[in-house]
Amino acid sequence: MSRSPTLMGIAILILPLAGCDYFRPFEKVCEQRLAPSSVSVTGEPVTYESDFNQSITQLSAKGAASTGRMVLGLVESKLGGSIEFSAKGIVKPLSGRYCMRPALNVKLAFRPMKLYVASDYAQGSCEFDITMAHEQKHIAVYQKFLEEMATDVGRELGEKLGDNIQYFDSAAAGEAGMRESAAKILKPYLDRGMEEVAKRQAGVDTPEEYFRLESFQSRCTPH
């Protein structure tokens, strides 16, 4: 499941005009005084809560029961993103016209994330350790996907927002415009992200991996 981007920390600051700026074309003032655009996109380190209280039957009902396999472990999560702005713009006196270059920090995260290992296996047991090691492979897939997604989002934001100066009728319109532009770019990534990461997770749960796990599990000493 994905979530719409959260727009937060809006801080569009207004640079004061110097005395000589009042007599110069507004566009020239914006070109010379606005700082370059800055776009930062990061994938936050994956963290998770553990739950070892669900039985194999409960996890099988919660997980991919359609495969006909018992689910011994499971990882669940949601994909979300937040966008913080810190643009410094300039307002033209009297008219209120506003200019700015984009300045934003985007954070992507799988949160909340929960890792389950069936309560049928005591913590520290052979079966528990084998299952946990397998689930850690899924955790690694989430982290790698997030890092690659951050690169892709950063590239597209840079290409579409660029370093061009943007003009609005007012500072409020500038804030609303940046909200809309950034969210429009980020939302499709969030919408399709869970589907794409699920395909990668399927690459972990291969028949060969299941065979390997079952072979290791069969060697565990019965408790």
222 pLDDT above the threshold of 50:
yes
pTM > 0.75: yes or no: yes
Domain ranges of the chain: 6-218
What pLDDT shows up at residue 119? 95
What pLDDT shows up at residue 18? 57
- Average pLDDT of 53-74? 80
Mean per-residue pLDDT over the chain, rounded:
86
Least confident stretch, 17-31, 35-49, 109-123, 162-176: 17-31
What pLDDT shows up at residue 116? 96
What pLDDT shows up at residue 7? 44
107 three-class SS: strand
34 pLDDT above the threshold of 70:
yes
pLDDT tens profile 148-164:
999 999 999 988 888 88
What pLDDT shows up at residue 8? 44
- In degrees, rounded to 5, the angle at the alpha carbon of residue 211 between the alpha carbons of residues 209 and 216 is 95
pLDDT tens profile 96-120:
899 999 888 999 999 999 999 999 9
- Give the integer Cα–Cα distance in Å for 214 and 73: 13
- Give the integer Cα–Cα distance in Å for 206 and 134: 12
Strand extents, DSSP E, the chain = 6-8, 13-14, 38-43, 49-51, 73-85, 88-91, 98-100, 103-117, 166-168
